Structure 1
Amino acid sequence: MGNDNFQYLLRRYPSDPLYPEVEKIRGSYVYTTDRRKFLDLTAGYSACVSIGGSNLKVRSAIKKQMRKYSYVSAVSWSNSRAAELAELLVRKAPLGLDRVMFPGCSGSEAIEAAMRMSYQVRFEQGEIDRSVFITRSNAYHGITSLALSLTSTPVYGFLKPLQPTNHVSIPQHNFFEQSLAGESQDDYALRSAKQLEDQIIATGPEKITAFVAESMLGSLQGNVPPSGNYWKLVREICDRYEIHIILDEVYCGLGRSGKVYCCEWDGITPDFVAQGKQLAGGFGPISAVVTKSRFEEIIKAGQNRIFYATTYEAHPLAVAAAIEVQKVVQSNEMLAHVNLIGEMIKQRLTDGLGTHEFFKNVRGRGALVTIEYQCDDQEKFNERLQAEMRDQHGVLIGSRFHRTNFNPPSTTSYRQVERAVDQYVELFEKIGLDFSRTSI
């Protein structure tokens, strides 16, 4: 099939040249039809290819399921494999999270379902005015209507007339951008949590159903962990005003942070957790909402129906893939490996570039690591970093805005990542000679 066929395909960026076409993926390596090979340190660009692209057990599980049946509707049939996957997610969840729903194909649908369920619980309890969600600035939680309404990313601004308006915003929780001069991580956490409480009081707690936020800021902001005991402070505030916490772990969940649930690092139990990208690791489209049986009982006593359904919820092929993926990413051995390579990335970036004039910081959790820097014409600097890592070293990285994200598949070997990071450090120094530092 030649390039002429692409004239019928409506692409996201219609005027861009055609991207390379993938022939196959083996482990963390991508092979293209023009006979090139790349080590992918972006885990499929959006960090969803958590165990590489060719795991034999996952592929076998999909084939085995296909021999039985490829699809049944979750509305009218039971699926014991979906129950098995739910058990895998509950078994490692923070205490109190004991119910799982598979609302559809993407993290957007998981966020949408969690938001709707939060309000339905309010409705069933007679609190019909509690319909407002609190979000944080510069957030991104998905492309569906409710989820997109929470984002303030300028590129989506023209869609605002189509979106619900039942939300208010507080500043993002980002120590590297929002802290005051001389402010400690603990003091910043306290001030940031107070911004949430101030907004709750200003809006009126009787109007608010939930606070929606990422457990740690993801690829949009560059792998920013929360400061100090921020989430414990937030949990106390939300308990005080009986406000749900909806955590978005679509990007950072299910082993990528070095723990099965990213919020385990912070020692809290949210009310809802949205999972997506890492659930089936790119082998199938599926997402999940992990929540509490207490809410199920409230809904059961009310309308006895969760008002969210999609055609492909708990799709059997995606469920089969997700079970095998979760067996890998939840293992103690894999979590130890993820933390090991993450610490190595941070250490080698700090050792290699910590004194560079462009350097600002290195941060992250597990296999999600970011180096932030500042120079003149950063767009061109990023373009050269990406292009020369790709063309000279055969390595795919995510450099944009003011940073480079390293998100290798969890199964990438220590040596593969180490070599690529060292190549990046050398290239950063070389390209940096053509640019200059800008004032902060």
Structure 2
Amino acid sequence: MSSAVLHRDTHFIPKQAIGGKGSYIFLEDGTKFLDSTGGAAVSCLGHGHEGVKQAIKDQIDQLSYCHSAFFGTPVTEELARFLTDSTGGKMSKLFVVSSGMSPSLLLIYSVYHPGTSLLTRSEAVEAAMKLARQYFLELPTPQPQRTRFIARLPSYHGTTLGALGLGGHVLRREPFEPILAKNISHVSPCYAYRGKKEGESDADYVARLAAELDTEFERVGSDTVCAFVAEPVVGAALGCVPAVPGYFPAMKAVCEKHGALFILDEIMSGMGRCGTLHAWEQEDIVPDIQTIGKGLGGGYAPVSGILINDSIVQTMDKGTGVFRHGQTYQGHPISCAAALATQKTIQQESLLDNVRSMGAYLEQQLRQRFEGHPYVGDIRGKGLFWGIEFVKDKSSKEPFDPSTRLSFHIQEKGLLPAYSVSLYGCPGTVDGIRGDHVILAPPYNVSKEEIDIIVDIFGKVVKAVLEELDL
């Protein structure tokens, strides 16, 4: 069989998905496939939700497209009002881009099978970076010298050149290093499993990381940085790593000290995935700019965006009032209809309650099954967003050699008909090259019975892979 599609791997043609309902995808060969990761933590309502499908059909009947330079649409306005109201007015504007999908998903994972999902948030992150830069040009006393960004290692914020440069994931950056921007630097993540020193308290760990960020501001020039960017719960790069208490308030304080903006990338961890609609609600802070996607539209249409703090909106409004950024499909009515229906469903069906309760159950089952496993080093996450880090030696935390490709094998084994489950495997956990983790991110309406199946099959897959690798 040949294909005219340039797939992620030119040597591999994936099976065809021909349908889906709830937590399952149906394949052309008759396989009923359990989507325990929601793709890449996208399908928050599962597949085939009738209400969202009908909302999209209704919008198509009304209006499929108009250019945002000429017209607005009621559905875009309603979505924006819904989301800004959800922040209590702290974020007062929404900018919608209709994909969040990167146009270049090729060859980034050249040493691994590209079936390992690449997260897609590039358009929203690019918009956030440009808005942060323009903000400093719109101030009553402009600060044009602010051209830099600080992010964390390892991190992932997208695959377009600006977003890829912002990220700190070695394998994903490597082929493109010569053409990435040089105005971005990186500091350590808040990664307690590997970052905290023996006997160090959370407070001392936070103080050390805050001092590192402060030092980096001073090193590159305190008044040259536009923003510090971080994920509230690190997704693909580290495998669902939450920060320790007090970390984000401390980081924001450093940004405020140096007059820089504080940007949270919630593409993967936000829109309910971690148990609150916005992940920052659990951190006692409010960002200046927040990127959103994935769970925003639940995969029913490509959509992502940025929520903007009212302080930035007011500055822009008193300046030129013009955000010098725009795209053909910006605010696309069908994407907005899908997002609005998804968000209303989450609210009306009280799915955040289910995320919290089923998330607690998933954690319990994962710990019961894997905490004593000799090759599982850490189990971490929030809500329905959980990662399992594998290690060669539990006591020393030594990772498997990259040549073992453990996470790749786990993901590929899960795809076989005997298991038929998605297991989001990622390499590079420790330093962007070494380390393996697997992510689970089932839909917000997942049941206990489905979680039991997910954990059981995951355990069987891990056992089979380790036996094949003679471990």
TM-score in same-fold range (> 0.5): yes
Q: Distance in 1 between matches of 2:359 and 2:32?
A: 24
Which of 144, 149, 153 matches 1:133?
149
Quick one: which amino acid aligns to residue 275 of structure 2?
Answer: G
- Contact 2:43/2:299 (CA < 8 Å) preserved in 1? yes
Q: Distance in 1 between matches of 2:412 and 2:123?
A: 34
Identify the residue that residue 5 of structure 2 maps to in structure 1. Answer: 9
Q: Secondary structure at the match of 1:284?
A: coil
Identify the residue that residue 458 of structure 2 maps to in structure 1. Answer: 424
Q: TM-score, normalised by structure 1?
A: 0.92
28-37 vs 333-342, which deviates more? 333-342
Alpha-carbon offset, residue 81 of structure 1: 1.0
Alpha-carbon offset, residue 400 of structure 1: 3.6
Quick one: which amino acid aligns to residue 98 of structure 1?
Answer: S
Q: Deviations over 1:191-214 (max 9, x none)?
A: 112211111122222111110111
Quick one: which amino acid aligns to residue 24 of structure 2?
Answer: Y
423-432 vs 218-227, which deviates more? 423-432
Alpha-carbon offset, residue 112 of structure 1: 0.8
Given the superposition, is the C-alpha separation of residues 135 and 94 from structure 1 closer, same or farther in structure 2, using an over 3 Å criterion?
Answer: farther
- Contact 1:348/1:422 (CA < 8 Å) preserved in 2? no
Q: Secondary structure at the match of 1:135?
A: strand
Q: Distance in 2 between matches of 1:9 and 1:227?
A: 44
Q: Distance in 1 between matches of 2:418 and 2:175?
A: 39
286-295 vs 76-85, which deviates more? 286-295
- Contact 1:360/1:374 (CA < 8 Å) preserved in 2? yes
Q: Distance in 1 between matches of 2:320 and 2:219?
A: 32
Q: TM-score, normalised by structure 2?
A: 0.87
- Contact 1:47/1:251 (CA < 8 Å) preserved in 2? yes
Given the superposition, is the C-alpha separation of residues 118 and 382 from structure 1 closer, same or farther in structure 2, using an over 3 Å criterion?
Answer: closer
Given the superposition, is the C-alpha separation of residues 277 and 186 from structure 1 closer, same or farther in structure 2, using an over 3 Å criterion?
Answer: same
- Within 5 Å, give how 1:379-418 maps onto structure 2: 379=404, 381-390=406-415, 391-401=417-427, 402-418=436-452
Alignment: residue pair count:
431
Q: Distance in 2 between matches of 1:188 and 1:331?
A: 40
Identify the residue that residue 38 of structure 1 maps to in structure 2. Answer: 33
178-187 vs 142-151, which deviates more? 178-187
- Contact 2:97/2:332 (CA < 8 Å) preserved in 1? no
Identify the residue that residue 66 of structure 1 maps to in structure 2. Answer: 60
Which of 147, 168, 172 matches 2:163?
147
- Contact 1:70/1:317 (CA < 8 Å) preserved in 2? yes
Given the superposition, is the C-alpha separation of residues 59 and 35 from structure 1 closer, same or farther in structure 2, using an over 3 Å criterion?
Answer: same
Q: Secondary structure at the match of 2:297?
A: coil
- Contact 2:424/2:440 (CA < 8 Å) preserved in 1? yes
277-286 vs 143-152, which deviates more? 143-152
Identify the residue that residue 117 of structure 1 maps to in structure 2. Answer: 131
Q: Deviations over 1:231-267 (max 9, x none)?
A: 0111222222221011100011100011100111111
Identify the residue that residue 19 of structure 2 maps to in structure 1. Answer: 24
Q: Secondary structure at the match of 1:98?
A: strand
Q: Distance in 2 between matches of 1:358 and 1:226?
A: 23
Q: Distance in 2 between matches of 1:278 and 1:345?
A: 19
Q: Distance in 1 between matches of 2:186 and 2:411?
A: 34
Given the superposition, is the C-alpha separation of residues 94 and 144 from structure 1 closer, same or farther in structure 2, using an over 3 Å criterion?
Answer: farther
- Within 5 Å, give how 1:321-400 maps onto structure 2: 321-330=338-347, 333-375=350-392, 379=404, 381-390=406-415, 391-400=417-426
Q: Distance in 1 between matches of 2:209 and 2:49?
A: 42
Quick one: which amino acid aligns to residue 197 of structure 1?
Answer: D
Task: Pick the structure with more helix per residue.
Answer: 1
Quick one: which amino acid aligns to residue 5 of structure 2?
Answer: L
Alpha-carbon offset, residue 304 of structure 1: 2.5
98-107 vs 388-397, which deviates more? 388-397
Identify the residue that residue 307 of structure 1 maps to in structure 2. Answer: 324
Identify the residue that residue 114 of structure 2 maps to in structure 1. Answer: none
Q: Is 1:50 paired with 2:16?
A: no
Q: Is 1:90 paired with 2:84?
A: yes
- Contact 1:103/1:308 (CA < 8 Å) preserved in 2? no
CA RMSD of aligned residues (A): 2.0
- Within 5 Å, give how 1:177-196 maps onto structure 2: 177-196=194-213
Identify the residue that residue 239 of structure 1 maps to in structure 2. Answer: 256
Q: Distance in 1 between matches of 2:90 and 2:16?
A: 45
- Contact 1:50/1:281 (CA < 8 Å) preserved in 2? yes
Q: Secondary structure at the match of 2:338?
A: helix
